[in-house]
Amino acid sequence: MIKLITDSIPHAFKFAHSATLMGLKRMGWDWEVRRRGELCLGVLSKTFEKKSNSTAREKGELIFIGGFGDTPLSWFQILIPLLPIVRRRYSAVRIFDFPGFAGFLSDQRPIHSMDRLQEFCLDTLETFKPKTIIGHSLGGWLATAYVAELKERAEKNRLTKPYFPKRLILVCPGGVLNGEEKRAHWKRVFYGAIEGGFREFQPHVFYNEPIWFKWVEDSFSEFFDKPEILQFMESVEDRHLLNDKLKDLDVDIQLIVGENDSMIPAAWADDWIELGRKSHIEKTVLKGVGHSPQIEAPLRMIKLLKNKI
């Protein structure tokens, strides 16, 4: 009986996503799957005002980009209480969902390289031109890479009035490794997962692991068994790092880090501040929290984001 129950949990996890997506559509959310050859990327959107409206263009859009392997559902307990504020301040809110991750596209083929993921994600962001991007972990890396790409394009094309997002809210962001000791730490965490799977990665996901996670951890173990995910992890190189790109950015960056994050230690946020001297960067450290603040401390995250979005 116990085995029957545990074997059914991965199916229940997928069913929960299907049911949630159906419910969101009934509440006026739009679900779009963009395709590029055999690859895809999902966008879940709630539009408050049409783009043709001048007020909508002035308000701009809010976009969430989640972390490596994450599901958009991990952010909904944060987003739903914030919707009244988001509705007043933005014309739309969108959440990205990557194929092969734990979200609505878990059955789709994962994007197998950092180059392809960045290209697809950045091109999709370009179609929305967001005012604010909230990026967690890998999502923060991608959001910052997007702004850096916009700056390079503006300089190359000598644009007089280039477009840039007004603010980046980066939660435990990756992409900045300043010094050999930090690179070595990152490689131990990242490549340890390549060799040992999710069991090696799991201790770094949470500081306070929620009780319910044991019921879904098999789904995340399967994630690390996918050959495309291993290819993606092996494809990340020094040239993808943000160290040099951050030096040239001039943008409002709000850093939110977990005091007990063992994947991307809180102290590393100081490297963002040091390297990004042209930007306005503020750091908030959440005490007693690890790499997943949206799950470990949702109430504190809601309170914090009320003042930052």
CB 255, CB 173: distance < 8 Å: yes
Q: What is the mean pLDDT of each run of 10 residues along the chain (309 residues)?
A: 44 81 93 94 91 68 95 92 95 96 94 96 92 97 94 79 88 95 90 84 91 81 88 93 92 96 96 92 96 96 94
Cα–Cα dist 75/97, whole Å = 11
pLDDT of residue 1: 43
pLDDT of residue 11: 63
Cα–Cα dist 98/149, whole Å = 20
pLDDT of residue 6: 42
pTM to 2 decimal places: 0.92
Cα–Cα dist 21/197, whole Å = 29
Written as one string, the DSSP assignment of the chain is -HHHHHHHHHHHHHHHHHHHHHHHHHTT-EEEEEEETTEEEEEEEEESS-TTSHHHHHH-EEEEE--TT--THHHHHHHHHHHHHHHHH-SEEEEEE-TTSSSTTTTSPPP--HHHHHHHHHHHHHHH--SEEEEETHHHHHHHHHHHHHHHHHHHHT-SS----SEEEEES--S---SHHHHHHHHHHHHHHHHHTHHHHGGGT-SS--GGGGGTHHHHHHHHH-HHHHHHHHH--GGG-SHHHHHT---EEEEEEETT-SSS-GGGHHHHHHHTTTSEEEEEEETT--S-HHHH-HHHHHHHHHTT-
pLDDT of residue 167: 95
**pLDDT tens-digit map of 48-60:** 977 656 665 678 9
pLDDT of residue 7: 47
pLDDT of residue 152: 86
pLDDT of residue 52: 59
CB 196, CB 75: distance < 8 Å: no
Tokens of 260: 């007990």
User: What domains can be seen in the chain, in order of their start residue?
Assistant: 2-306 (3.40.50.1820)
| Chain-centroid distance, C-alpha 302 | 17
Q: Which single residue is written with the structure tokens 């969101």? A: 24
